[in-house]
A = this chain, B = another copy of it.
Amino acid sequence: MGRHREFDLDKALDAALTMFWQKGYEGTSFEDLTRVTGVARPGLYAAFGNKEALFRKALDRYDAKYMTFMSDALGEPKVYDVIRRILEGSVKVQTLGGSSRGCLGVNGAVACSDEAEPIRQELIARRNATEAALRARLKRARQEGDLPPSADCAMLAGYVMTVSQGMAVQAKAGASKATLAAIVAHVLATWPSSASKRMRAAR
Contact = CB atoms under 8 A, between A and B. Distances in A.
B173 A124 contact: yes
A202 B166 CA distance: 24
Contacts of A42: none
Interface stretch (A59-67, A110-118, A136-144): A110-118
A147 to B, nearest CB: 10
Interface stretch (A8-16, A24-32, A43-51, A70-78): A24-32
A124 B172 CA distance: 9
Interface in A88-144: 102, 106-108, 110-114, 116, 124, 127-128
Contacts of A159: 183, 186-187
Copies in the complex: 2
A17 to B, nearest CB: 13
A167 B162 contact: yes
B186 A156 contact: yes
A168 B161 CA distance: 12
A195 B203 CA distance: 10
> Which of A162, A202, A203 is packed against the most chain B CB atoms within 10 Å?
A162
Given A27-B111, A28-B113, A127-B173, 19 more contacts: A21-B111, A24-B112, A26-B27, A107-B110, A110-B110, A110-B172, A148-B203, A150-B203, A152-B186, A158-B170, A158-B175, A161-B170, A162-B166, A162-B169, A163-B166, A165-B166, A165-B169, A166-B166, A192-B202
13 contacts: A23-B112, A26-B26, A102-B111, A110-B169, A111-B172, A124-B173, A148-B202, A158-B179, A161-B170, A165-B170, A190-B201, A192-B202, A198-B202
